[in-house]
Amino acid sequence: MNKIGVHSMGLRFRYATAKELDEKYKMIKDAGFDCVDFGFDEYLPVNDVYGDRIDTVLELPLEEAWKTFEPHFDAAKRHGILFEQMHAPFPMFVEGREDLSERMFNIIVNSMEICACMGGKYIVVHPVTMAYHCSKQEEHDANVAVYKELIPTARKCGLVICLENLFLEKNYHMMEGFGSDFREASELIDELNEYAGEEVFGFCFDVGHANLLGKNMYQALLTPGNRLKILHIHDNDGISDLHTMPYTFARSWSGSSTDWEGFLKGLKEIQYQGVLSFETARCMEGFPVELHPAVLNLLCQTGKYFAKHIS
Protein backbone atom coordinates (compact mmCIF):
# COMPACT_ATOMS: atom_id res chain seq x y z
CA MET A 1 0.00 0.00 0.00
CA ASN A 2 1.30 3.45 -0.93
CA LYS A 3 2.24 5.87 1.84
CA ILE A 4 0.14 9.04 2.12
CA GLY A 5 1.75 12.48 2.45
CA VAL A 6 0.86 16.17 2.70
CA HIS A 7 2.81 19.31 1.85
CA SER A 8 4.03 21.47 4.72
CA MET A 9 2.92 24.73 3.08
CA GLY A 10 -0.42 25.83 4.48
CA LEU A 11 0.33 24.39 7.92
CA ARG A 12 2.18 27.57 8.94
CA PHE A 13 5.36 25.80 10.01
CA ARG A 14 7.85 28.60 9.44
CA TYR A 15 7.10 30.73 12.50
CA ALA A 16 5.82 27.97 14.79
CA THR A 17 7.38 27.42 18.21
CA ALA A 18 8.74 24.01 19.16
CA LYS A 19 5.53 23.30 21.07
CA GLU A 20 3.38 24.34 18.11
CA LEU A 21 5.46 22.19 15.75
CA ASP A 22 4.91 19.19 17.99
CA GLU A 23 1.16 19.82 17.93
CA LYS A 24 1.12 20.19 14.14
CA TYR A 25 3.06 16.99 13.47
CA LYS A 26 0.80 15.16 15.93
CA MET A 27 -2.24 16.51 14.09
CA ILE A 28 -0.82 15.23 10.79
CA LYS A 29 -0.17 11.80 12.28
CA ASP A 30 -3.59 11.66 13.94
CA ALA A 31 -5.19 12.31 10.55
CA GLY A 32 -3.46 9.15 9.28
CA PHE A 33 -0.58 10.54 7.21
CA ASP A 34 2.78 8.80 6.91
CA CYS A 35 4.83 11.63 5.38
CA VAL A 36 5.28 15.38 5.08
CA ASP A 37 6.50 16.92 1.82
CA PHE A 38 8.66 19.66 3.28
CA GLY A 39 8.69 22.93 1.31
CA PHE A 40 11.99 24.80 1.61
CA ASP A 41 10.35 27.41 -0.63
CA GLU A 42 8.40 28.54 2.43
CA TYR A 43 11.76 29.84 3.70
CA LEU A 44 12.41 31.68 0.43
CA PRO A 45 9.24 32.56 -1.51
CA VAL A 46 9.58 32.93 -5.28
CA ASN A 47 8.46 36.56 -5.20
CA ASP A 48 11.34 37.38 -2.85
CA VAL A 49 13.77 35.89 -5.37
CA TYR A 50 12.46 37.89 -8.31
CA GLY A 51 12.14 40.97 -6.11
CA ASP A 52 15.81 40.80 -5.04
CA ARG A 53 14.76 40.31 -1.42
CA ILE A 54 16.73 37.17 -0.64
CA ASP A 55 17.13 36.88 3.11
CA THR A 56 17.00 33.26 4.11
CA VAL A 57 18.37 30.82 6.66
CA LEU A 58 19.16 28.59 3.66
CA GLU A 59 22.26 30.70 2.94
CA LEU A 60 23.76 30.01 6.36
CA PRO A 61 26.39 27.32 6.96
CA LEU A 62 24.79 23.91 7.46
CA GLU A 63 25.44 23.77 11.23
CA GLU A 64 23.66 27.10 11.73
CA ALA A 65 20.82 26.41 9.30
CA TRP A 66 20.20 23.04 10.97
CA LYS A 67 19.12 24.85 14.15
CA THR A 68 16.02 26.01 12.24
CA PHE A 69 15.15 22.60 10.80
CA GLU A 70 16.17 20.25 13.62
CA PRO A 71 12.97 20.96 15.60
CA HIS A 72 10.98 19.72 12.57
CA PHE A 73 13.09 16.59 12.41
CA ASP A 74 12.66 15.94 16.14
CA ALA A 75 8.89 16.57 16.18
CA ALA A 76 8.29 14.43 13.10
CA LYS A 77 10.38 11.60 14.53
CA ARG A 78 8.42 11.68 17.81
CA HIS A 79 5.19 11.18 15.91
CA GLY A 80 6.42 8.70 13.31
CA ILE A 81 6.28 11.09 10.34
CA LEU A 82 8.77 10.68 7.47
CA PHE A 83 10.23 13.26 5.07
CA GLU A 84 10.50 11.22 1.87
CA GLN A 85 10.23 14.15 -0.54
CA MET A 86 10.99 17.85 -0.30
CA HIS A 87 10.84 20.94 -2.49
CA ALA A 88 13.79 23.25 -3.11
CA PRO A 89 13.29 27.02 -3.53
CA PHE A 90 12.92 28.27 -7.08
CA PRO A 91 13.79 29.48 -9.66
CA MET A 92 17.15 27.75 -9.99
CA PHE A 93 18.24 30.05 -12.82
CA VAL A 94 17.37 33.68 -13.63
CA GLU A 95 18.34 34.61 -17.17
CA GLY A 96 20.61 37.63 -17.36
CA ARG A 97 21.30 37.58 -13.62
CA GLU A 98 24.40 35.50 -13.04
CA ASP A 99 24.76 36.86 -9.50
CA LEU A 100 21.22 35.82 -8.57
CA SER A 101 21.53 32.45 -10.31
CA GLU A 102 24.73 31.72 -8.38
CA ARG A 103 23.04 32.54 -5.06
CA MET A 104 20.06 30.36 -5.93
CA PHE A 105 22.35 27.48 -6.94
CA ASN A 106 24.07 27.63 -3.53
CA ILE A 107 20.71 27.84 -1.75
CA ILE A 108 19.52 24.73 -3.59
CA VAL A 109 22.72 22.87 -2.68
CA ASN A 110 22.17 23.81 0.99
CA SER A 111 18.54 22.66 0.72
CA MET A 112 19.74 19.30 -0.58
CA GLU A 113 22.14 18.96 2.36
CA ILE A 114 19.35 19.72 4.85
CA CYS A 115 16.99 17.37 3.01
CA ALA A 116 19.48 14.55 3.54
CA CYS A 117 19.83 15.43 7.24
CA MET A 118 16.05 15.19 7.60
CA GLY A 119 15.98 11.76 5.97
CA GLY A 120 14.66 12.82 2.58
CA LYS A 121 15.06 10.65 -0.51
CA TYR A 122 13.74 12.95 -3.24
CA ILE A 123 13.93 16.71 -3.78
CA VAL A 124 12.11 18.71 -6.45
CA VAL A 125 14.31 21.22 -8.24
CA HIS A 126 12.31 23.16 -10.83
CA PRO A 127 13.73 23.01 -14.35
CA VAL A 128 14.80 26.13 -16.22
CA THR A 129 11.95 27.54 -18.32
CA MET A 130 12.68 30.19 -20.98
CA ALA A 131 9.93 29.31 -23.44
CA TYR A 132 9.01 32.84 -24.53
CA HIS A 133 12.24 33.85 -26.18
CA CYS A 134 14.56 30.94 -26.89
CA SER A 135 14.67 27.73 -28.86
CA LYS A 136 13.90 24.30 -27.40
CA GLN A 137 17.57 23.40 -27.81
CA GLU A 138 18.72 26.46 -25.85
CA GLU A 139 16.29 25.61 -23.07
CA HIS A 140 17.43 21.99 -23.07
CA ASP A 141 21.10 22.98 -22.93
CA ALA A 142 20.45 25.38 -20.03
CA ASN A 143 18.83 22.58 -18.05
CA VAL A 144 21.60 20.12 -18.79
CA ALA A 145 24.21 22.62 -17.62
CA VAL A 146 22.60 23.47 -14.27
CA TYR A 147 21.46 19.95 -13.39
CA LYS A 148 24.89 18.48 -14.09
CA GLU A 149 26.32 20.86 -11.50
CA LEU A 150 24.00 19.34 -8.87
CA ILE A 151 25.10 15.73 -9.45
CA PRO A 152 28.01 15.73 -6.92
CA THR A 153 25.71 17.00 -4.14
CA ALA A 154 23.00 14.51 -5.04
CA ARG A 155 25.52 11.67 -4.90
CA LYS A 156 26.94 12.83 -1.58
CA CYS A 157 23.48 13.19 -0.05
CA GLY A 158 21.98 10.04 -1.58
CA LEU A 159 19.17 12.04 -3.19
CA VAL A 160 17.19 11.75 -6.41
CA ILE A 161 16.56 15.17 -7.97
CA CYS A 162 13.07 15.36 -9.47
CA LEU A 163 12.08 17.55 -12.40
CA GLU A 164 8.51 18.86 -12.27
CA ASN A 165 6.09 19.61 -15.12
CA LEU A 166 5.68 23.40 -15.16
CA PHE A 167 3.36 25.90 -16.82
CA LEU A 168 3.71 29.50 -17.93
CA GLU A 169 1.06 32.21 -18.05
CA LYS A 170 1.18 34.74 -20.90
CA ASN A 171 -1.56 37.22 -21.78
CA TYR A 172 -4.11 35.20 -19.78
CA HIS A 173 -3.18 32.00 -21.60
CA MET A 174 -1.58 28.93 -20.04
CA MET A 175 1.45 27.61 -21.92
CA GLU A 176 3.75 24.66 -21.41
CA GLY A 177 6.74 25.26 -19.19
CA PHE A 178 9.68 22.88 -19.27
CA GLY A 179 8.68 19.38 -18.13
CA SER A 180 5.13 19.54 -19.48
CA ASP A 181 6.27 17.91 -22.69
CA PHE A 182 6.57 14.56 -20.92
CA ARG A 183 8.62 12.91 -23.65
CA GLU A 184 11.09 15.79 -23.62
CA ALA A 185 11.35 15.61 -19.82
CA SER A 186 11.85 11.83 -19.90
CA GLU A 187 14.62 12.14 -22.49
CA LEU A 188 16.40 14.76 -20.38
CA ILE A 189 16.18 12.55 -17.27
CA ASP A 190 17.67 9.64 -19.24
CA GLU A 191 20.44 11.86 -20.61
CA LEU A 192 21.33 13.17 -17.15
CA ASN A 193 21.28 9.71 -15.55
CA GLU A 194 23.49 8.34 -18.32
CA TYR A 195 25.95 11.17 -17.67
CA ALA A 196 25.84 10.51 -13.92
CA GLY A 197 26.25 6.76 -14.40
CA GLU A 198 23.43 6.07 -11.95
CA GLU A 199 19.85 7.08 -11.16
CA VAL A 200 20.28 10.61 -9.82
CA PHE A 201 17.25 12.14 -11.58
CA GLY A 202 13.57 11.32 -11.66
CA PHE A 203 10.21 12.92 -12.37
CA CYS A 204 7.62 14.65 -10.19
CA PHE A 205 4.16 14.65 -11.77
CA ASP A 206 2.12 17.69 -10.75
CA VAL A 207 -1.55 16.88 -11.32
CA GLY A 208 -2.76 20.47 -11.06
CA HIS A 209 -0.26 21.76 -13.60
CA ALA A 210 -1.23 18.99 -16.03
CA ASN A 211 -4.90 19.90 -15.59
CA LEU A 212 -4.24 23.59 -16.32
CA LEU A 213 -2.73 22.60 -19.66
CA GLY A 214 -5.52 20.16 -20.53
CA LYS A 215 -3.22 17.14 -20.51
CA ASN A 216 -4.50 13.60 -20.87
CA MET A 217 -3.71 12.32 -17.35
CA TYR A 218 -3.55 8.66 -18.31
CA GLN A 219 -1.27 9.17 -21.32
CA ALA A 220 0.88 11.70 -19.46
CA LEU A 221 1.73 9.19 -16.74
CA LEU A 222 2.58 6.41 -19.17
CA THR A 223 5.34 8.50 -20.77
CA PRO A 224 7.64 8.91 -17.72
CA GLY A 225 6.66 5.43 -16.47
CA ASN A 226 9.18 4.21 -13.90
CA ARG A 227 10.99 7.56 -14.01
CA LEU A 228 8.06 8.87 -11.94
CA LYS A 229 9.25 8.97 -8.34
CA ILE A 230 6.94 11.44 -6.57
CA LEU A 231 3.63 13.28 -6.98
CA HIS A 232 2.12 16.69 -6.31
CA ILE A 233 -1.61 15.98 -6.02
CA HIS A 234 -4.00 18.92 -6.03
CA ASP A 235 -7.04 20.22 -7.87
CA ASN A 236 -8.03 23.39 -9.71
CA ASP A 237 -10.70 24.77 -12.00
CA GLY A 238 -8.57 24.43 -15.13
CA ILE A 239 -7.94 28.19 -15.12
CA SER A 240 -5.81 29.04 -12.05
CA ASP A 241 -3.20 27.13 -10.02
CA LEU A 242 -5.38 26.82 -6.90
CA HIS A 243 -3.77 23.91 -5.00
CA THR A 244 -6.92 22.64 -3.35
CA MET A 245 -8.13 19.13 -2.54
CA PRO A 246 -9.25 16.63 -5.20
CA TYR A 247 -12.86 16.55 -6.38
CA THR A 248 -13.57 20.15 -5.33
CA PHE A 249 -14.14 21.56 -8.84
CA ALA A 250 -16.95 20.34 -11.09
CA ARG A 251 -17.58 22.18 -14.35
CA SER A 252 -20.90 20.42 -14.79
CA TRP A 253 -23.07 17.88 -13.07
CA SER A 254 -21.20 15.17 -14.95
CA GLY A 255 -17.80 15.34 -13.28
CA SER A 256 -14.70 17.03 -11.92
CA SER A 257 -12.45 19.52 -13.67
CA THR A 258 -9.59 17.04 -13.20
CA ASP A 259 -9.68 13.54 -14.71
CA TRP A 260 -9.03 11.66 -11.49
CA GLU A 261 -10.12 8.36 -13.04
CA GLY A 262 -7.47 8.71 -15.77
CA PHE A 263 -4.90 9.72 -13.14
CA LEU A 264 -5.56 6.59 -11.09
CA LYS A 265 -5.62 4.37 -14.16
CA GLY A 266 -2.21 5.71 -15.20
CA LEU A 267 -0.69 5.19 -11.75
CA LYS A 268 -2.03 1.64 -11.65
CA GLU A 269 -0.69 0.80 -15.09
CA ILE A 270 2.85 2.02 -14.34
CA GLN A 271 2.66 0.28 -10.93
CA TYR A 272 3.46 3.44 -8.98
CA GLN A 273 4.78 2.52 -5.53
CA GLY A 274 5.68 5.97 -4.19
CA VAL A 275 4.00 8.36 -1.80
CA LEU A 276 0.59 9.81 -2.67
CA SER A 277 1.44 13.35 -1.61
CA PHE A 278 -1.07 16.20 -1.52
CA GLU A 279 0.26 19.67 -2.40
CA THR A 280 -2.85 21.43 -1.08
CA ALA A 281 -1.46 24.48 0.72
CA ARG A 282 -4.09 26.95 -0.44
CA CYS A 283 -6.84 24.58 0.59
CA MET A 284 -5.44 24.51 4.12
CA GLU A 285 -5.01 28.28 4.19
CA GLY A 286 -8.64 28.75 3.17
CA PHE A 287 -10.02 26.94 6.22
CA PRO A 288 -9.97 28.21 9.81
CA VAL A 289 -7.23 26.62 11.91
CA GLU A 290 -9.86 24.87 14.03
CA LEU A 291 -10.97 22.93 10.94
CA HIS A 292 -7.47 21.83 9.89
CA PRO A 293 -7.79 18.41 11.59
CA ALA A 294 -10.99 17.73 9.64
CA VAL A 295 -9.44 18.92 6.36
CA LEU A 296 -6.37 16.74 6.91
CA ASN A 297 -8.58 13.78 7.73
CA LEU A 298 -10.51 14.15 4.45
CA LEU A 299 -7.26 14.53 2.48
CA CYS A 300 -5.83 11.39 4.04
CA GLN A 301 -9.03 9.44 3.38
CA THR A 302 -8.81 10.57 -0.25
CA GLY A 303 -5.24 9.28 -0.34
CA LYS A 304 -6.34 5.92 1.00
CA TYR A 305 -9.07 5.81 -1.64
CA PHE A 306 -6.45 6.48 -4.33
CA ALA A 307 -4.12 3.83 -2.86
CA LYS A 308 -6.89 1.22 -2.95
CA HIS A 309 -7.62 1.94 -6.62
CA ILE A 310 -4.03 1.72 -7.85
CA SER A 311 -2.95 -1.34 -5.88
User: What pLDDT score does 132 carry?
Assistant: 66
Confidence of residue 197 (pLDDT cuts 50, 70, 90): very high
Residues of the chain above pLDDT 90, percent: 83
* pLDDT category of residue 98 using cuts at 50, 70 and 90: confident
The full DSSP string for 147-202 is HHHHHHHHHHHT-EEEEE--EEEETTEEEE-TTSSHHHHHHHHHHHHHHHTS--EE
For residues 219-225, average pLDDT: 98
Q: Please, which pLDDT band fits residue 252 given cuts at 50, 70 and 90?
A: low
pLDDT tens-digit readout, 146-189: 999 999 999 999 999 999 999 998 887 889 999 999 999 999 99
Q: What is the pLDDT of residues 70-80, one digit of tens each?
A: 999 999 999 99
CA distance to 145, 151, 170, 206, 230, per residue, from 275 (Å): 29, 24, 33, 13, 6
Task: Please count the residues of the chain.
Answer: 311
Write the pLDDT tens digit of every residue in 19-58: 999 999 999 999 999 999 999 999 999 999 989 899 999 9
Q: Is-contact 105 149, C-beta < 8 A?
A: yes
**Residue 10: predicted pLDDT:** 86
pLDDT level of residue 251 (50, 70, 90 thresholds): low
Give whole-number Cα distances, 91 to 7, 100, 113, in Å.
19, 10, 18
Mean pLDDT (the chain, rounded):
94
Give the model's pLDDT for residue 189: 98
* Rounded percentage of the chain residues whose pLDDT exceeds 70: 98
- Other C-beta atoms lying within 10 Å of the C-beta of residue 138: 12
Task: Compute φ and ψ for 191, nearest 5 degrees.
Answer: -65, -45
Instruction: Work out the average pLDDT over 221-228.
Output: 98
Provide mean pLDDT across the span 217-223: 98
The CATH number of the domain holding residue 94 is: 3.20.20.150
Per-residue buried b or exposed e for 263-279, using 16+ beta carbons within 10 Å of the residue's own CB: bbbbbeebebebbbbbb
pLDDT at 244 over 70: yes
pTM of this prediction?
0.96
Q: Which domain holds residue 237?
A: 4-310
Model pLDDT, residue 254: 61
3-state secondary structure 15-41: CCCHHHHHHHHHHHHHCCCCEEEEEHH
The number of domains in the chain is 1
Q: How far apart are CA 238 and CA 28, in angstroms?
A: 29
pLDDT band at 253 (very low <50, low <70, confident <90, very high): low
In the structure, what pLDDT confidence band is assigned to residue 131 with cuts at 50, 70 and 90?
Answer: low
- Rounded to a whole number, what is the distance in angstroms from the first to the last CA of the chain? 7
